[in-house]
A and B are shown apart, each in its own frame.
Chain A
Amino acid sequence: MIDIGTYIEQFINWLTANFSGFFDGVNYGMTNFIGAVEGFWIWLPFYVTIAFMAGIAFWRAGIGNGFLTLFGLLFIYGMGYWDQTMQTFALVLSSTITALAIGIPLGIWSARSQTANRIIRPILDFMQTMPAFVYLIPAVLFFGLGTVPGAFATIIFAMPPVVRLTSLGIQQVPGDIVEATKAFGATSRQLLVKVQVPLAMPSILAGVNQTIMMALSMVVIASMIGAKGLGEIVLQGISQLRIGMGFEGGLAVVLLAIILDRITQHIGKSK
């Protein structure tokens, strides 16, 4: 019998024992980061937030999506879940920002280097398909209970799309344009900044959109290890068999997802 589980346990224990300083640092940083984002959105009066989001939606995504955003958020407020929604939003936002900060460079790297691509691809497969519950336990071991391990799990789950789509976008830049750029004496950096990234932008933005959606889908799971927000409501509904409450929480998640999807889908497109 191949007892790989034992080795993984040993490895995780070894990591916790030897890298506790590192994990504490990350924990501290993430706690502050998420705390600041969350604090901001909860501090902001609900009508300002609603006006702001609806404004963006009207401006970039059209009248229909503007009204959708306006009434959707008012509905969530009316259900009495505003604070939880903002907590969830903050978690999604900070996880997404972190995932993008790591994922976009990784995507660029894997587009430009065969070797990097060969290493990164199986890791992405692993991150996307490994059931999320499996890495919740080590996340708790590393960071303790709370929002940070939730964010950690969310980042792992949400990062692959943006890496893949960034890489795809850059690879799909037509060869003759790349060649032309080189022929005019562009350095590899100029090629990236002036040509590849701008031309890959639609694909990268599709990746951002997907990452946000994936992050939202992790909300309930993250709440199982103590992340605050709408996930808590859903979990309460499940554990106390309060069907109505569970649905309310779920509905708020769906509304938030639709609104974020519509806005981010249109933000990159020129009007």
Chain B
Amino acid sequence: MTKILIEDLYLIFGKHREKALKQSREGKSKAEVLSSTGCTVAVNKANLSIEEGEIFVIMGLSGSGKSTLLRCINRLIEPTAGKILVNDLDITRSTDKELLNIRRKEFAMVFQHFGLLPHRTVLSNVAFGLEIQGLPKEDREQKARETISLVGLDGYEDMKVSELSGGMQQRVGLARGLANEPEVLLMDEAFSALDPLIRNQMQDELLLLQEKMKKTIVFITHDLDEAIKLGDRIAIMKDGEIVQVGTSEDILTAPADDYVESFVEKVERGRIITAASVMFEKPTVARLKKDGPEVVIRKMREAGLKTLPVIRTNRTFIGFVHLEDVLQAKKQGAKSIEEVVNTEVHSVYPDTTIEDMLPLLTETELPIPVVNEENFLLGLVSQTSIIVEMTGKDDKEIKEIIQNAIDL
């Protein structure tokens, strides 16, 4: 179900907004609008649909309009034109009173610099949202205590937030958001101010929490690694426009334009690319029962391979056969290849990352079989393709490198 739907949203800063809006709608670029009207187009015709229960990441460099777009969702910033539908209700038309109610019940926000009240304790900071709603002190503190233990801050209730480290403060920020039991969590570069180790830890915990909570989370970041780790889907913004929306896989494998590609290049591909995206499907196989040594040798010749994966009739994977072994078997007059199948082979699942497959390279010279949970053979990953993905160099370059090494 679609939770938040953003339709043709514009946000323009400056004096002649109407004129600037008209020009933007006619398709003029941000720079053109700026030079002719003096207005800055911060969000340019944004269209997004955010599904219930997903972590939706909006990613872009600073100045791309991502934080501004987020603030339009709860109208901390008033959009210039366009619709924002939350539960099919257009909140750009809400009255001030309705808006307060939506902010209290529907949304909670977590900020880059935490935005906590330094003069208050952890407990009263976490209870703050409920206090605003006018909940009696006992109720809100009970709720706050529950949330505090959810984010692992037990025992810190009575400390002032200014006494806590950055990571701890952001836990308080997260707890304050969750205490409200919002439908949607808006997170604005929530982990960007933390040091890398703590950031990683917080990301893991957010994912764990999300497994239990199933909230809709809109997460803003400038870090593609973070986007890929957290996002079920990612939108990439540039100069106020949404350039691409898709899963991390989509974005890495098929970047929509040079801009997205330039991001992707910087990513450690090994951590994201999975076996499923680099394997070649429908490889030539040897069938255990049906194919005798003669047939297997023929298949190997046709495919130009010295090894073949072996499967049962029901497609479950067993192991590999090697040309020399099959020839040997044929000499000995064997009718089946059963005797010569090498079953000591590691297989991987489709979602195994390249990085996790690296250790297998050292064990074997064989391609790596990709199987599903029922052990059905889905495809093979060649060793070269792993190297290609890890180094970012293409096939030819790698062959050259290998050749150079041999020449030496």
Q: Contact residues of A with B, CB < 8 Å? A: 174, 176-177, 179-187, 190, 194-195, 198-199
Contact = CB atoms under 8 A, between A and B. Distances in A.
Given A184-B180, A198-B119, A190 B74 contact: no
Chain B interface size range: 20 to 34
B133 interface: yes
Nearest to B103: A185
Nearest to B112: A176
Interface string B36-79: 00000000000000000000000000000000000000101000
Interface stretch (B124-132, B256-264, B385-393): B124-132
Interface string B92-123: 00000000111111011101111111110000
A183 B74 contact: yes
B111 A179 contact: yes
A183 B117 contact: no
28 contacts: A174-B113, A174-B115, A176-B113, A177-B115, A177-B116, A179-B111, A179-B115, A180-B111, A180-B115, A180-B116, A181-B132, A182-B76, A182-B103, A183-B74, A183-B103, A183-B107, A183-B108, A183-B186, A184-B108, A184-B129, A184-B132, A185-B102, A185-B105, A187-B100, A194-B128, A194-B132, A195-B117, A199-B118
Given A180-B111, A181-B132, A183-B107, 5 more contacts: A177-B117, A183-B108, A183-B109, A185-B104, A190-B132
Nearest to A177: B115
A183 B176 CA distance: 12
A187 B99 CA distance: 11
Contacts, number: 59
Contacts of B176: 184
A186 B132 contact: yes
B132 A180 contact: no
Contacts of A194: 128, 131-132
A195 B114 CA distance: 15
A199 to B, nearest CB: 7
B128 A184 contact: yes
Contacts of B103: 182-185
Nearest to A201: B119
B297 to A, nearest CB: 70
Contacts of B119: 198-199
B185 to A, nearest CB: 11
B180 A179 contact: no
Contacts of A186: 132
A185 B133 contact: yes
B218 to A, nearest CB: 13
Contacts of B105: 185
Contacts of A187: 100
A185 B132 contact: yes
Contacts of B180: 184
A185 B186 CA distance: 14
Interface in B117-170: 117-119, 128-129, 131-133
Contacts of A177: 115-117
Contacts of B74: 183
Contacts of A185: 100-105, 129, 132-133
Nearest to B109: A183
A14 B29 CA distance: 62
A28 to B, nearest CB: 41
A185 B109 CA distance: 11
Candidate in A174, A186, A187, A198 with the most chain B CB atoms within 10 angstroms: A186
B131 A183 contact: no
Nearest to B107: A183
A5 B71 CA distance: 54
A199 B113 CA distance: 17
A104 B306 CA distance: 88
A199 B111 contact: no
A199 B107 contact: no
A263 B176 CA distance: 37
A94 B128 CA distance: 37
A195 B115 CA distance: 11
A179 B131 CA distance: 16
A180 B118 CA distance: 13
- The 3 A-B residue pairs with the shortest CB-CB distance, nearest first, are A180-B115, A185-B104, A185-B103
A183 B182 CA distance: 12
A47 B131 CA distance: 46
Contacts of B104: 184-185
Given A185-B104, A199-B119, A176 B111 contact: yes
A194 B132 CA distance: 9
Candidate in A179, A181, A183 with the most chain B CB atoms within 10 angstroms: A183
Nearest to A182: B76
A198 B109 CA distance: 22
A195 B124 CA distance: 12
Nearest to B128: A184
Contacts of B128: 181, 184, 194
A176 B114 contact: yes
A99 B74 CA distance: 40
A180 B126 CA distance: 12
A179 B100 contact: no
Nearest to B114: A176
Contacts of B100: 185, 187
A55 to B, nearest CB: 27
A134 to B, nearest CB: 42
Candidate in B100, B115, B131 with the most chain A CB atoms within 10 angstroms: B115
A180 B100 CA distance: 13
A199 B162 CA distance: 13
